[in-house]
Structure 1
Amino acid sequence: MSVRVGILGATGAVGQRLIQLLDPHPQFEIAALTASESSAGRSYSDAAKWRVNTPIPADVADITVSATDPDEVDNDVDLIFSSLPSSVGEQVEPEFVEDGYVVSSNSSNSRLAEDVPLVIPEVNHDHLDLIEVQRDERGWDGALIKNPNCSTITMVPTLAQLDQFGLERAYVSTLQAVSGAGYDGVTSMEIIDNVLPHIGGEEEKMETESRKLLGEFDGAELSWHDVDVTASCNRVATLDGHLENVFASLREDAAPEDVEAAFRDAPTIDLHSAPDELIKVFEDPSRPQPRLDRNVAGGQGVATGPVQETSDGVQYDCLAHNTIRGAAGASVLNGELLVEEGYL
């Protein structure tokens, strides 16, 4: 079965990464691309300043870009991937859903809405059934599903495995790659020979999205996890790959080797883009490193270093590719889950 897909915000950094991941996908066929009014009506190769490290796929280059309006998109599209700025997504995504489209979105708007699934397939795929609540409450024929922030998605798979030891609190300090801000997000004069110790809104996203992702869904209502998350987010001069230092407080005593075993036993899911091993544990204390390890499992995995014992829990570092597992790849995984669960 071939699923025809569209990409909203196709000329941006995440949109380009979506094209790179979707063009060779055995299940999805790119059928529509949208962008701003200034790009509408032009071929994709003319409209996009292509910056991904592989060529524009030949069958995508000649697609005519549409305006980001449901009336302008081919209604034969089965699934929409959204990489819109949140200020645009907040207005436009509901219009597509009201028109009957199913939207797998990377945009930050509505992630915390009570009836919008915020999903990492290996962690909380059951939250997808919030779609039924969403459709009942909003009268939508389509559906809206979100993947979390790129820094949140790096840490939460590890926190989910710590929950068996009584996860109470997590402190995290991030070292986030410049690609997380988009191509024009951080100037060279800001970041070269420098670290930016503040990323607007990022800390709040980590502190709230984590609790929603780790929550329990009873079929009607989602109860957030009571873990207390405190984040400090920093931009550093790496291109891709968010590295995070995590300190977790646990109710139970947990030996480092037990925690590492729990990481290695993290559940996987039978989806095309899902890694065979969700969390790779390095024994070398100098790993993981962004340049060496961001592409673990094709960029869809999470890497950790050795676990250290602390006075009330454990400390470890974790890393993921922020534009693959942390953005475009996460949306693709959610799209695959939507197909698998029959929501198209």
Structure 2
Amino acid sequence: MTSKISPDRRHFLEIAVASIAASPFVLASPAGAETAQTAPTRATTAQTGARPGGSLGRLRQIDAGALNVGYVESGPGNGPVVILLHGWPYDIHAFVEVIPLLVSAGYRVITPHLRGHGTTRFLSAQAVRNGQQAVIGVDIVALMDALGIERAILAGFDWGARTANVIAALWPERCKAMVSVSGYLIGSQAANRAPLPPAAELQWWYQFYFATERGRLGYEANRNDFARLIWKLASPKWNFDDATFERSAQALANPDHVAIVIHNYRWRLGLAAGEPAYDAFEARLAAAPTIAVPTITLEGDANGAPHPDPAAYRGKFTGRYEHRLISSGIGHNLPQEAPQAFVRAVIDVDRF
């Protein structure tokens, strides 16, 4: 993939930036040439999104690694590539307003359903329904290979942000730049064994619920009600309507969804084993490697989900870096709640 933008595409990009800049943008510290040592934090007042009538276009399927991946492709085939990565319990509709803005700026946008979501399926009935952090990164690299994409900007939230972090750390040559909501999310089973203060443990209530058989059965029986509750807790000021929720909830009907989610959270606590094929990757990730690719991290000012303080992960980014706080009651699903701020971060990090 070439990272150069043609004059016509550059013109589109400038138009897109101009429209995105319609929202107020205030510097919390002086702007300038950001380095690994000095990176301003920006506070942005967001324009909210999530209109229920948006359409993603035609869903495609492709064999990639262990999966047949369902994905949407938008924009010019020769444009710089952006891969958008959703979280749990969300789906590709988190980017329904992000995609057209990026396309108008000349980008080729790939938006896949992660394993266990939407129309993504395992190629083998015998495959382990594995949700550990490394394997989802492997999935996306395999998708890039299947689509002939050498390098891309990776942008995501929740599981998607962690996956972008994993790829940037393990395969930096495949990641041109990164936008990561809630910053650095790579973890390890060893680190997760350490108890947290009670208030912090309370935020992870569902992780402990999923550690039990009762939790697995409860999620299987009530996955939509469970997801709606998570949406409300994670984004307490986001007034999404039923149509917006139901559109994404369809992705949770995937036959592997519950197994993948339960394994993901049990693996984090060391209650479920990963696959030996990924042990070397997990060993590298357990060392909390730094990330050198250009990065913008984002955080909503009303994120009700567990998330680290930006100061705690600043040192993990050793390349060109900036952190932005998005205000106006923006919660955990930042690309859907504040699509213009998310798109602006993608376009800006491409210029780093």
What is the TM-score normalised by the length of structure 1? 0.32
Structure with more of its chain in strand, by fraction: 1
Greater share of helix residues, 1 or 2?
2
Q: Which protein has greater RCO, CA pairs closer than 8 Å, 6+ apart?
A: 2
